[in-house]
Each structure stands twice: as C-alpha cells, then as structure tokens.
C-alpha cells in the first residue's frame, strides 16, 4: 500500500508558507489545474499550489499558442478550480494583454481573477511595463508570481518554444530580471526552459522561491502541466516532461470497451438497470 502524501491532510497553504519552505529547503510542488474534478484530485494528492495556467489555451482549447486566452476564460476556469481545491494555494495566470497595457488595466484584470477565487496571479517577463504592473498589483495587496525564461506569451519574439539563457549575455539578463522582479515584490518566480546551471544560480541569488519547469532540479519547487504528467496531452512532448501515468491510453481503451459493449448489447446489463 502506498503511503498517503505527507501534505494532503495538512493545513491550508498560504503565501506565508512558501518563503519558509525555501528556507527549510523543502520542495514546493505546483500543478496546473483547469477544472473542479482535477482540482479535487490534485489537491487531495497533496499539491502545495494549483496554477490555473493560460496553458488552458493549448491543452484544453486546442489552440497552438496561449495568446488566444482571455480574462473571461481564465475567470471561468479559476471559479471551477476554486470550488474543487481545499488546501492548495491557488494562482491564476494573467493572460496576454491583460497586464501589459497599463498598471491600472492590470489591477482591474487581476482583481477579476481574485474575485473568481485566485489567491495570487502570475505574469510573464520583466520589461519596464511589466515591472510597473507588478508594483501596482503588489501595492494593492495582490500577491504576484513572476515567470522568466521560456515565456509562452512571447513565442513570436523567441521564434518558437526554445530553451532560453544559453548565451552568456542572455543568462546575465535573466539573472538581472529575477532580481528586478524580486525588488518589485513578487512572492515567487517560475523559471521555465532554462539550463539547469542558470536556474540554480538564479535560485541562489533571489530570496523568493523559484519554481522550475524544464529548469533542472535545483529550483525551490517544480511545476508541471497536469495533462503532461498524466499522459493526457500528446501534441507536444518536451524533454523535461515525465509521464507518471498513461491516462490518454486508458481513456481511449475504456471508451472503446464501452462502445463495444453498447454495440454488442452487453451494456446496460441487469446490474446497471433499474428493477
């Protein structure tokens, strides 16, 4: 019998936990969630944080990029996840164009996600307008998570979903960006698609916890898209994804068995029929 994960019955996670976890070198486990049922399962398994990622544009809606995601879409999924999770801290992605236009716009949009049930929001990048937006949100008591490296909303600037920070100039810029985001007040920082050594250096340079995805083992925590972890999403298969189950195959097989039973007149059998 497998042991129940340590965290699953513990106290509600709050923003106060994550800095302390970094100090204790206790890894922070973050998973994406997009609906009520998955939120319940991932929360019950012991995830520290659930992220309603704008990856919902690709894994849920089937778009090629996350650029099509709107605040309305995010708010709808945040509401569903908020109803399903009990213990995990809930972060919502700010979608493309919801925080870049002006700090006031960012505040209004982040406010909508908090009203939908999020406890924090995440923004990508560290250019001047984004740092202004972070400061405005933090000034309004909205916790903000940063996101550096392979930032999917910048797919067209990056020329594709490519590992970032391999050349020394870009690596130094990413280190500077991490410090700027820390100064602007982020409580945590996602590092995506970076060489492991650079992610280790950034994690040591900032006091806020770093959460890695495709950024090696030395980040203070790890995040994965739950559909990748469970083997449900096969369109992209980056090197860093480890599939812990093959639920895509299981789903197809179970559905095919149901179809066979219905066509052969085996379902519903007497046990599944009302008397």
Please name the residues in contact with 88: beta carbons below 8 A apart, sequence gap of 6 or more: 13, 39, 42, 43, 47, 48, 49, 50
Clarify whether 192 is annotated catalytic.
yes
39 binds ligand KIV (CB under 6 A): no
Question: Which residue of 17, 93, 177, 182 would you call a contact of ligand KIV, by CB under 6 A?
Answer: 93
Kindly give the pairing relationship between strand 210-213 and strand 221-224: parallel
Q: Measure the CA–CA gap between 245 and 48, rounded to whole angstroms.
A: 20
Binding ligand KIV by CB under 6 A: which of 88, 123, 184, 213? 213
Work out whether 225 is an interface residue with ligand KIV (CB under 6 A).
Answer: yes
- Is position 32 an interface residue for ligand KIV (rule: CB under 6 A)? yes
Q: Which residue in the list 119, 124, 182, 192 is annotated as catalytic?
A: 192
Measured distance CA(233)–CA(16) in Å, rounded: 33
- Report the residue from 48, 55, 131, 184 that binds ligand KIV according to the rule CB under 6 A: 55
Contact flag: residue 188 with ligand KIV (CB under 6 A) = no
Rg (CA), the chain: 20
Does residue 128 sit in helix, strand or coil? helix
Segment 144-183, which members bind ligand KIV (CB under 6 A)?
none
What's the Cα-to-Cα distance from 60 to each of 8, 54, 230, 235, 242, rounded to whole Å? 26, 10, 14, 12, 20
Stretch near ligand KIV under the rule CB under 6 A, chosen from 49-57, 106-114, 153-161, 172-180 = 49-57
Site of interaction with ligand KIV (CB under 6 A): 32, 51, 53-55, 93, 190, 192, 213, 223, 225
Q: Among all residues, which ones are annotated catalytic?
A: 192
């Amino acid at each position: 019998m497998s042991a129940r994960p340590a965290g699953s019955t513990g106290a509600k996670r709050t923003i106060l936990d994550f800095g302390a976890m970094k100090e204790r070198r206790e890894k922070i486990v973050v998973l994406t969630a997009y609906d009520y049922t998955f939120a319940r399962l991932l929360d019950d398994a012991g995830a520290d944080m659930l992220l309603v990622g704008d990856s919902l544009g690709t894994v849920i809606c089937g778009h090629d990029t996350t650029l099509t995601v709107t605040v309305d879409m995010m708010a709808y999924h945040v509401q569903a996840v908020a109803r399903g999770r009990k213990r995990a801290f809930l972060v919502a992605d700010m979608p493309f164009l919801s925080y870049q236009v002006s700090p006031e716009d960012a505040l209004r949009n982040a406010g909508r996600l908090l009203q939908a049930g999020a406890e924090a929001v995440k923004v990508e990048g560290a250019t001047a307008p984004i740092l202004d937006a972070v400061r405005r949100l933090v000034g309004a008591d909205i916790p903000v998570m940063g996101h550096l490296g392979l930032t999917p909303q910048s797919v067209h600037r990056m020329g594709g979903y490519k590992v970032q920070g391999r050349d020394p100039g870009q690596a130094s810029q990413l280190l500077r960006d991490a410090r700027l985001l820390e100064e602007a007040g982020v409580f945590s920082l996602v590092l995506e698609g970076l060489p492991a050594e650079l992610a280790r250096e950034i994690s040591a340079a900032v006091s806020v916890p770093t959460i890695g995805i495709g950024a090696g083992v030395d980040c203070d925590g790890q995040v994965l898209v739950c559909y990748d972890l469970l083997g449900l999403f096969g369109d992209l298969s980056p090197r860093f994804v480890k599939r812990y189950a093959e639920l895509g195959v299981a789903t197809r097989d179970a559905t095919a068995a149901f179809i066979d039973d219905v066509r052969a007149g085996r379902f519903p059998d007497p046990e599944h029929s009302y008397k």
